[in-house]
Structure 1
Amino acid sequence: MRSWLAAHPLASYAVRRFGLYLVELWGAVTVAFFFFRLIPGDPIQTFIQTLQQNYVYNAAASAAVIERYRSEFGLDGNLFSQYLHYMYRVLFQQDLGPSLLNYPTPAQDVIMRALPWTVGLLGLSAVLAWVIGLLVGALAGWRRGKPGADLVTNVAIALSHVPYYFLALILTFIFAYQLAWLPARSAYNARLTPGLSPEFLFSLLKYGLLPSLSIVVIGVFSWLLSTRMLMVPVLGEDYLTYAQAKGLRPRKILTKYALRNCYLPQVTAFGISLGFIFNGNVLVEQLFNYPGLGATLVNAIQILDFNTILGVTNLAIFAVLTANLILDLLLPLLDPRVKYWR
């Protein structure tokens, strides 16, 4: 095996990178488990109080009921035994355990119900913001010194650090309350049945426009500035001067030469930013009452639903690390100059 890997450096690099990926994944999941389990509070007592308020709890059987719930939620024993039990259940049974948010529904079912909303809204918004920011930032850097490019750059500098939720509040106040053009809360009209009907799809688009805009606008400004920062130093390179001397069109020089050397760092940065799709826009989902993973995570933290909290957190960890693994394997294909295995 060692001789075969030595004769195939690309395969050797892929094997080493995948091994490092597994170690990183295990380490991040372990840190997340102990971090959340060390939060003060007793989720079982909170759950018991909820049952008492709903008159479905027998106080005479308190000890037996509490012991059963602790065992079912993986909270019996010391912290290390809880960790071993959790890892065994996740790895070998593919089970996150029951969710306190919707007991006895498994936590993975709660997460999977919220996941399409987050991916559909926040995922597409993040991709759209990246594409627009990359293209506009390249043009702003290419046409630096021109009035239009300077205006766009100054606006981006002023607004790039505005929080998503602050812009969401402004958009809601203007378009939902002042002009009454768009709804302020929820994901679709509650009177409609979810499906592929034109009415439901139009309602989905209408209700998702405000939260999507708040993410896209701020994201575009951030990607615009970083792309422009990468584009300006490239413009002084000799190969661009040579391309201009050959008589190539400016558009071809921009797209085939200048932009190609700028989008590689942005591809890597986009992979790192994927984690914010799950947990970076929590307040936006809370503000619009959008049924995504961000709102699910907040509700789970409020009642210390460890199974759901760890499920959402580990999903974000898995998404970020997997995206970076794929990007590390694809970058040599995008740019032949990248040779990690040498």
Structure 2
Amino acid sequence: MTADAPPVVVVDESQDSAPPPSGVRVWLSRHPLAAYAIRRVGLYFVELWGALTIAFFFFRLIPGDPIQTLIQTLQQNYMYNQQASTELIARYQQEFGLTGNLFSQYLKYMEKLVLHGDLGPSLINYPTPAQDVILRALPWTIGLLGISAVLAWIFGVILGAIAGWRRGKLGSAIATNLSIALSHVPYFFVALILVYIFAYSLGVLPARSAYDSNITPGLSLEFIGSVLKYGLLPGLSIVIIGTFSWILSTRMLMVPVLGEDYLVYAEAKGLKGWRILTRYALRNCYLPQITAFGISLGFIFNGNVLVEQLFNYPGLGTTLVTAIQQLDFNTILGVTNIAIFSVLTAVLLLDLLLPLLDPRVKYWK
């Protein structure tokens, strides 16, 4: 009787020698953070294109003829015969991109905007390009509203954290009640009160304009001091209301954190209260506030139009109102596009940074 031969194991050498899987999808699966960033950036461009398209068709469908408005203004100062006026209207329609149907106007507009960064001529300051008019007003808006928003956020987060940390105290109760009462008051209402007190009653601060007209603009201490003096009242109105809004939201985030075990343990170890507040409690509150602050920065271009109008400040708000009054579509779309770009870019940067700042934030897979 013979024993059966052991089974023969066949080894497929082709599997061992096969190269490891490769390709874009495999690389993305091995680098989830890079995959998340690529997807998010792609979505950003789609959102940007969609928003710019909606803005174009929305403003172009507004009733009114900007060329006729311009011709009527010119005819009040100069004499035109009917033939010259007709030729002038045809030339202006060509320059302002108003020839052809709405879809062809859209294609020409997007081509100039994307490939050349050209918004076309500005109706309120013809023949100056609309982008030049906007770029002259942009630094004033960034200087006034941007700095005011940053100061309001810093003051609001610090005071809100202290108010939440010292809940039940008289100072915390006063700060909370004031925040509830004043956080939704319009900026221009506070601006009117400040103008009445400091400009008309006391006469210590100017009420209008951005700097003294007798000073030549430039990088001189005299001009910078004049800009700071004239921007104090509009900036203060934004800082006051913004600070109360951030106090309320920071306190709301701080109070639930105070009962956590790690804070009780830190206190049992003998750490000082100020160290526990700044190093442990506040760190769990500032990440949502950073997100909200980044989004709010995107709205500084169009969120305080009335403040600029009240103080006759030469920012984007004043430029936008003037352009709307004269149906200057190129300037209106330019200001709107800046607002769209700033909001979407702020959200994109926050989406890319938060997974790096907070491990609790998971990136999209």
Q: Same fold (TM over 0.5)?
A: yes
Partner Cα separation in structure 1 for residue 223 and residue 79 of structure 2: 38
1:43 match? 66
Matching of residues 143-162 of structure 1 within 5 Å? 143-162=166-185
Contact 1:48 1:57 in 2 (8 A): no
Measured after TM superposition, the shift of residue 336 of structure 1 is 2.0
Q: 1:269 aligns with which of 270, 278, 292?
A: 292
Aligned partner letter, 1:278: F
Cα-to-partner distance string for 1:127-172 (whole Å, 9 max, x where unaligned): 1101110111111111110001111111111111110000000000
Aligned partner letter, 1:12: A
Q: 1:238 aligns with which of 245, 261, 268?
A: 261
Partner Cα separation in structure 2 for residue 54 and residue 133 of structure 1: 53
Q: 2:139 aligns with which of 113, 116, 119?
A: 116
2:149 match? 126
Measured after TM superposition, the shift of residue 38 of structure 1 is 1.2
Aligned partner letter, 1:248: L
Contact 1:142 1:254 in 2 (8 A): yes
Of stretches 331-340 and 98-107 in structure 1, the one that deviates more from structure 2 is: 331-340
Describe the SS at the equivalent of 1:206. helix
Residues 248 and 57 of structure 1: is their aligned pair in 2 closer, same or farther, counting only changes over 3 Å?
farther
Note the aligned Cα RMSD (angstroms).
1.1
Describe the SS at the equivalent of 1:278. coil
Structure 2, unaligned stretches of length 5 or more?
1-23
Q: 1:295 aligns with which of 309, 313, 318?
A: 318
Of stretches 189-198 and 60-69 in structure 1, the one that deviates more from structure 2 is: 60-69
TM-score by length of 1: 0.98
Partner Cα separation in structure 1 for residue 76 and residue 82 of structure 2: 12
Q: 1:174 aligns with which of 164, 175, 197?
A: 197
Measured after TM superposition, the shift of residue 56 of structure 1 is 6.2
Partner Cα separation in structure 1 for residue 96 and residue 276 of structure 2: 60
Contact 1:300 1:306 in 2 (8 A): yes
Partner Cα separation in structure 2 for residue 16 and residue 193 of structure 1: 49
Which has the higher Rg, Structure 1 or Structure 2?
2
Aligned partner letter, 2:280: Y
Q: 1:73 aligns with which of 73, 89, 96?
A: 96
Aligned partner letter, 1:330: L
Matching of residues 11-30 of structure 1 within 5 Å? 11-30=34-53
Q: 2:282 aligns with which of 259, 274, 277?
A: 259
Measured after TM superposition, the shift of residue 58 of structure 1 is 4.5
Q: Moved runs in structure 1, 4+ residues, more than 2 A?
A: 56-60
Partner Cα separation in structure 1 for residue 337 and residue 81 of structure 2: 35
- Residue 99 of structure 1 pairs with residue 122 of structure 2: yes
Q: 1:327 aligns with which of 350, 353, 364?
A: 350
Describe the SS at the equivalent of 1:191. coil
1:209 match? 232
Of stretches 150-159 and 267-276 in structure 1, the one that deviates more from structure 2 is: 267-276
2:245 match? 222
Aligned partner letter, 1:100: L
Contact 1:332 1:339 in 2 (8 A): yes
Cα-to-partner distance string for 1:214-266 (whole Å, 9 max, x where unaligned): 00000000111011111111111122112112222211111111111111111
Describe the SS at the equivalent of 2:152. helix
Measured after TM superposition, the shift of residue 337 of structure 1 is 2.0
Aligned partner letter, 1:177: Y
Q: 1:54 aligns with which of 59, 62, 77?
A: 77
Residues 146 and 306 of structure 1: is their aligned pair in 2 closer, same or farther, counting only changes over 3 Å?
same
Contact 1:227 1:266 in 2 (8 A): yes
Contact 1:138 1:231 in 2 (8 A): yes
Partner Cα separation in structure 2 for residue 56 and residue 328 of structure 1: 58
Residues 33 and 19 of structure 1: is their aligned pair in 2 closer, same or farther, counting only changes over 3 Å?
same
Residues 136 and 58 of structure 1: is their aligned pair in 2 closer, same or farther, counting only changes over 3 Å?
farther
Which has more helix, going by share of residues? 1
Aligned sequence identity (%): 76
